[in-house]
Amino acid sequence: NAGVTQTPKFRVLKTGQSMTLLCAQDMNHEYMYWYRQDPGMGLRLIHYSVGEGTTAKGEVPDGYNVSRLKKQNFLLGLESAAPSQTSVYFCASSRTGLETQYFGPGTRLLVL
């Protein structure tokens, strides 16, 4: 039982490049989330999903897209990376929207 896993762990991009971050969970959770963590800002919700095939915007969705084609996976895409997207990205999942969220180990992204 791996819990929540994230791929990759670390990535360096040039401005304008695109990439996809993958989150996978093996707990059969309905809800999945993408956050970004920046110093002094805490965790800010980018997008979330309440079930397979659904997505919703969070607090800071601009510049990101997501897809939830399979229940266990939640993908975060950056179509044209900007230096402002340099951050640590955490994925989380929960059984329902009100219960404990379980977090992945994070992806550190540097955009030059």
3-state secondary structure of 70: coil
* Chosen residue from 8, 53, 83, 105 binding another protein by CB under 8 A: 105
Q: What are phi and psi of 97, to 5 degrees?
A: -75, -10
Q: Which of 76, 78, 104, 111 binds another protein (CB under 8 A)?
A: 104
Among 19, 52, 58, 71, binds another protein (CB under 8 A): 58
> Using CB under 8 A as the criterion, which residues of the chain lie in contact with another protein when the complex forms?
33, 35, 40-45, 48, 50, 58, 90, 92, 97-98, 100-101, 103-106
